[in-house]
Structure 1
Amino acid sequence: MYDIRSHFQGRNAKGRMNSKSDDKEYTILIGNLRSSLKDLAKKIEPKIYEYGFLKD
Structure 2
Amino acid sequence: MNTWPDEHVEDALQRMTENALTVMPALERESQEFVGAITSQEILELITVEARGGQ
Q: TM-score, normalised by structure 1?
A: 0.37
Bigger radius of gyration among the two: 1
Tell which has more relative contact order, 1 or 2 (C-alpha 8 A, sep 6+). 2
Q: Which has the higher helix share?
A: 1
Q: TM-score, normalising length from structure 2? A: 0.38
